[in-house]
Chain A
Amino acid sequence: MANIEVGGKSYETDEEGYLVDLASWNEDVGKYIAGIENVEMSDQHWEVINFLRDYYNEFQIAPAVRVLTKAIGKKLGADKGNSQYLYELFPYGPAKQACKIAGLPKPTGCV
């Protein structure tokens, strides 16, 4: 377990840097974690992060990569609806790295 300090407040993360209490997440925390991951947040990044958080609120799990690419494609155009676009935004992998920045738990298993 570790802690990160954002805006004078302390947030608990696990060994791998995932936020422990996802309700405590806010955009500043997201930006801070993105900084640790060397990801510079743009509007395109936030589109993905917001979709992930909405989906998680409804289903208690991050969306499948395919669900994510489809949703992004619908919203931003077919040329963005593919995993290559997502890997450009989140080089360590859209599922894990984007979840971490969104304050969601890490997808586990054979993924």
Chain B
Amino acid sequence: MAGPDPKAPALREYFPAIPALQPGAMAGAKSYVANDKIQESLGFPGQLAESWQDTHDAVIAKMGDLLGKQRAFKVYMDACVHCGACTDKCHYFIGTNDPKNMPVARQDLMRSVYRRYFTLPGKLFPKLVGARDLTSEVLDEWYTYYNQCSECRRCSVFCPYGIDTAEITMAGREMLDSVGYGQKYSNEIIAKVHKIGNNLGLPGPALTNTLEGLEEDVKEDTGIDVRYPLDVQGAEVLFVTPSADFFAEPHIESLIGYGKVFHAAGISWTLSTKASEAGNFGMFIGNYDQLRKIALRVREAALELGVKRIVVGECGHAWRVAYSFWNTLTGIGAGADDPFAIQLQSQLDHRYKQPMHICELTWDLIGQGAISFDKEANDHRIITFHDSCNVARGSRMGDSPGGQFEIPRNIIRAVANHYVEMAPGTTHEQTFCCGGGGGLLTDDLLDLRIKGALPRMETLQQVVDSHGVNFMATICAICKAQFTKVVPYYGFKMSMIGGVHQLVSTAIRLGDK
């Protein structure tokens, strides 16, 4: 990589501590802008208009449009009382000390413009109420700092009004996209989903080749013919997982585990070339049309294959989209009422949750005694669990509140003997982001990603020191990729990062044993 090697900040001796401010510390960390080809393939303008006035008017018009359509966004623009509860809750602020990475300051980048154009005091006395004109410098500032928010929603847990910065970041990115100022990383990926079928750009033949290779590997390891089926008509379960599971380490270890669970339980399942991506970056850029278009690929695959159930793999934001939005977007779960959604509703087996998380499926099977484990196989691991933000704060699992916290932990305890919690206040709904979520998992933001991981690295260090933890499990492809990249900067081995179903894979009994 060009430029000086990024370095990890020192772990703090006492925390939480409010960092000493360094104004402008991250002003130069600007993610690459999408080129016109990428932008236009998503239906956005290729680049900013030649005249600033045109861009200015278009942004304000878009803001008006969003304020009219999204009540939450309007309330968030009005409700903040600057109490300060959120200020030190953001991992990017903690890691960078840049005051514009305080959630309230990030919101105010937009709120100040909102006041100027949409409130009477702001129109009449802008200076008195902190209102400011939209200038090209302000727009650049939006681009920089709305691409330094991972939409993890931790700050909203501490806000007495429940203001969700993620919604403001999403609105900001939507306004930027609408005037031709999109981010390369996210938008290039969305274009690939439409063109090839997944974020990675993995075509069907490569997928087949990879899955056949996995079957050979598992046979070699276990002596058992575990199948990783693709596009099987009439399978019971359509399994939708992030495409990183087919490609990256350690992700693929969990994919191996999913297949073993289906095998051991005797459930017929299939992956799909069309729905070879659970991730949905349409949410990250706050664009409803993209969110829906990407989600519809899953519905199309489900209808074509005639499956009875839809199960989602280890992917944080995919589970938020699946759990919270698939119903009205696609008819997976009740809500949508177009003919295809109604067809899908009648096709799916409603004795099961639709959609279902792979952790729910595995935990149910454990409860029924349908699968069993040699827990000792994981005895070389001392395990902790990192809650992924979109699962923790954007969704749920199981039948009771907090299921999204308990079910993955229950699975770990069922398959391994050594489990340790990280510090309270940094797990469950107060979990820290890995530092790479929300469309920021890109090499051009590596410095931000390393710094944003600081609070999680501090709590990981504690359990490493106190309990000898050597494995941090997660159920999110972004967390896995982000941590394996950044933990070496903090002196940890990348092999200590892995998935919950990687642990399942190690211990599950297959065949007649």
Contact B441–A65 (Cβ < 8 Å): no
Contact stretch, chosen from A22-30, A40-48, A91-99: A91-99
**Which residues of A in the span 89-110 have a Cβ within 8 Å of any Cβ on B?**
92-93, 95-96, 105, 107-110
Q: Interface 1/0s, chain A 1-19, versus B by CB < 8 A?
A: 1000000000000011100
**B173-192 to A contact mask, C-beta < 8 Å, 1/0:** 00000000000110011001
Q: Is B203 an interface residue (CB 8 A)?
A: yes
Given the known inter-chain contacts A64-B248, A65-B247, A67-B210, please indicate yes or no for A108 contacting B217, CB distance below 8 A. Answer: no
Q: Mark A28-72, 1 if CB is under 8 A from B, else 0.
A: 000000001100000000000000000000111101111100100
Give 1 or 0 for each of B434-449: 1 = CB within 8 Å of chain A CB. Answer: 0000000101100000
Asked whether any CB of chain A lies closer than 8 Å to the CB of B244, the reply is yes
- In the complex, the chain B residue whose C-beta lies closest to that of A37 is B1
**B485 at interface by CB-CB < 8 Å:** yes
Q: Is B203 a contact partner of A61 (Cβ separation < 8 A)?
A: yes
Nearest CB of B to A99, in Å: 12
B: interface residue count bin: 35 or more
Main secondary structure of the interface of B (DSSP, over half): helix
Binds A, one of B57-65, B142-150, B194-202, B464-472: B194-202
User: When the two chains form the complex, which single residue of A63, A65, A92, A108 contacts B201, counting CB atoms closer than 8 Å?
Assistant: A108
Q: How many residues of A contact B (CB 8 A)?
A: 27
Given A64-B252, A65-B248, the answer on whether A110 and B213 have CB atoms closer than 8 Å is no
A110 and B249 within 8 A (CB)? no
Q: What is the bound-complex CA distance between A105 and B188, given in angstroms? A: 12
Report how far A83 CA is from B244 CA in the complex, Å: 16
Cβ B185 vs Cβ A108 within 8 A: yes
Asked if B443 and A64 sit within 8 Å, CB to CB, the answer is: no
Q: Is the Cβ of B206 less than 8 Å from the Cβ of A111?
A: no
User: Within the complex, which residue of B2, B32, B35, B189 is in contact with A109, where a contact is CB–CB below 8 Å?
Assistant: B189
Judging by beta carbons under 8 Å apart, are A111 and B200 in contact?
yes
Q: B185 contacts which chain A residues (CB < 8 A)?
A: 108
Query: In the complex, A16 Cα to B33 Cα: how many Å?
Result: 12
* Across-interface contacts of B238 in A (CB, < 8 A): none
User: Are B444 and A15 in contact (CB-based, < 8 A)?
Assistant: yes
**What is the distance, in angstroms, from B172's C-beta to the closest C-beta of chain A?**
22
